[in-house]
């Protein structure tokens, strides 16, 4: 069954259920937007066909906007304790990425508060060891949010899915093995990035919980980031900021700059309304998916660009770090050169074997 974009949601559903290895008696919780009803139906059928059960957490952009604009502030940050209890019966979560996430006319502070329930659920799921698989469904709503024709977005997502995953896995595993043995990481790029990190003693991980997938990543030592990171195309609330420059000292962002001052201010605003270790280094990753070739402004896809790196600030306590925050902001650096200690592993975005 193809949806209005021409995407075969049956194929996408097959890949999703196969990735989870759904078995009889399991309970699979689907989190999605109403724009994914055809995909939800395809997933639900396959789950039942394997003798398992599905349940649904659904939202819509108009509803989220209405909540963001009208619900009293003190209620936006409440934790859904009833759903936390439901997790005792859940074996896996399918989180469908099907819209942009930016809510026009909802102040950023209120939008951040609205994320409290989602953060509580994913943190409890992680604590209980429940697998959460994130799947991109290239709907018209998602295409509109990134300014692409829906057919073009669908083509890009399917191109990222239809790669040789033996090659992707090979790169992931080799990089993770090298990264776990390293003490220092040095990243440069032609735009001006010159950043040093330390990773000694931290576990390197590979990406197996996304469709499409492809990256090796690690939580750097939180006080180790020194230098400058220049992001050629950063995206905040649906807008592109070119050549955003972040300066780090002792692991923290100490200066934010950009040729467009309003662009730099947009990131400062995100930091201002976030909590905890929001400005501290959180993640270093090298992406390995050759089917993703350029950024579109949707981080779940952009961070998989083969030969790119992404570096994050904010939360990292769910994958081996110590930072606690309601912010995890990824930044993609294109065509970087990367050294693990003295070993050159990427040169201008090309893998060095």
| Topology (CATH level 3) of domain 9-161 | Thermophilic metalloprotease-like (3.40.1830)
40 with 56: CB under 8 angstroms?
yes
Tokens of 105: 């006319």
pLDDT over 70 at 186, yes or no: yes
Nearest alpha-carbon partner for 28 in 97, 98, 87: 87
CA 344, distance to chain mean position in Å, is: 26
Average pLDDT rounded to a whole number, residues 136-157: 94
Greater pLDDT, 173 or 1? 173
Question: Going edge to edge, which strands form the sheet with 343-347?
Answer: 252-257, 239-249, 226-236, 194-198, 184-188, 337-340, 343-347, 350-351
Would the pLDDT of 2 be above 70? no
Percent of the chain with pLDDT over 90: 92
Q: State pLDDT tens for residues 65-88.
A: 999 999 999 999 999 999 999 999
Determine the pLDDT at residue 7.
66
Q: What is the pLDDT of residue 101?
A: 80
**What is the spatial distance between Cα 51 and Cα 176, in angstroms, rounded to a whole number?**
36
Q: Residue 353 — pLDDT band, cuts 50, 70, 90?
A: low
Provide the mean pLDDT of the chain: 94
Q: What is the pLDDT of residue 3?
A: 45
pLDDT value at position 4? 42
353 neighbors 170 (Cβ within 8 angstroms): no
Sequence ranges of the domains in the chain: 9-161, 165-351
Q: What is the pLDDT of residue 259?
A: 95
Which region among 250-259, 264-273, 305-314, 336-345 has the lowest average model confidence (pLDDT)?
264-273
- The pLDDT of residue 1 is 47
Q: Indicate whether 105 pLDDT > 90.
A: no
DSSP assignment string, 58-79: EE-HHHHHHHHHHS-HHHHT--
| Per-residue confidence band for 256, with pLDDT thresholds at 50, 70 and 90 | very high
Q: Report pLDDT for 239.
A: 84
Span 118-132, pLDDT tens digits: 999 999 999 999 999
């Amino acid at each position: 069954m193809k949806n209005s974009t021409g995407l075969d949601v049956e194929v996408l559903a097959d890949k999703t259920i196969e990735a989870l290895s759904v078995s009889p008696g399991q309970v699979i919780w689907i989190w999605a937007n109403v724009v994914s009803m055809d995909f939800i139906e395809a997933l639900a059928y396959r789950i039942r066909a394997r003798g398992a059960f599905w349940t649904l957490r659904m939202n819509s952009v108009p509803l989220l906007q209405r909540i963001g604009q009208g619900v009293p502030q003190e209620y936006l940050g409440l934790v859904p304790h009833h759903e936390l209890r439901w997790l005792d019966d859940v074996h896996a979560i399918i989180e469908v990425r099907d819209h942009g996430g930016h809510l026009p006319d909802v102040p950023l502070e209120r939008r951040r508060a609205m994320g409290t329930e989602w953060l509580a659920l994913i943190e409890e799921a992680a604590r209980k060891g429940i697998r959460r698989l994130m799947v991109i469904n290239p709907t018209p709503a998602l295409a509109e949010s990134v300014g692409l024709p829906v057919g073009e977005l669908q083509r890009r997502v399917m191109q990222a899915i239809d790669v040789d995953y033996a090659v992707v896995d090979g790169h992931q595993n080799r990089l993770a093995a090298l990264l776990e043995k390293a003490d220092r990481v040095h990243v440069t790029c032609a735009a001006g990035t010159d950043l040093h990190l330390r990773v000694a003693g931290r576990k390197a991980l590979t990406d197996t919980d996304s469709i499409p997938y492809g990256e090796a990543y690690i939580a750097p030592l939180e006080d180790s980031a020194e230098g400058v990171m220049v992001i050629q195309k950063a995206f905040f609330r649906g807008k592109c900021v070119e050549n955003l420059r972040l300066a780090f000292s002792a692991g923290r962002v100490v200066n934010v700059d950009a040729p467009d001052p309003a662009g730099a201010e947009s990131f400062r605003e995100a930091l201002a309304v976030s909590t905890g270790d929001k400005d501290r280094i959180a993640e270093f990753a090298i992406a390995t998916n050759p089917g993703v070739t350029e950024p579109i402004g949707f981080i779940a896809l952009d961070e998989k660009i083969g030969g790119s790196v992404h570096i994050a600030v904010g939360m990292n306590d769910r994958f081996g770090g110590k930072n606690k925050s309601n912010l995890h902001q990824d930044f993609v650096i294109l065509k970087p050169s990367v050294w693990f200690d003295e070993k050159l592993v990427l040169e201008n975005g090309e893998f060095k074997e």
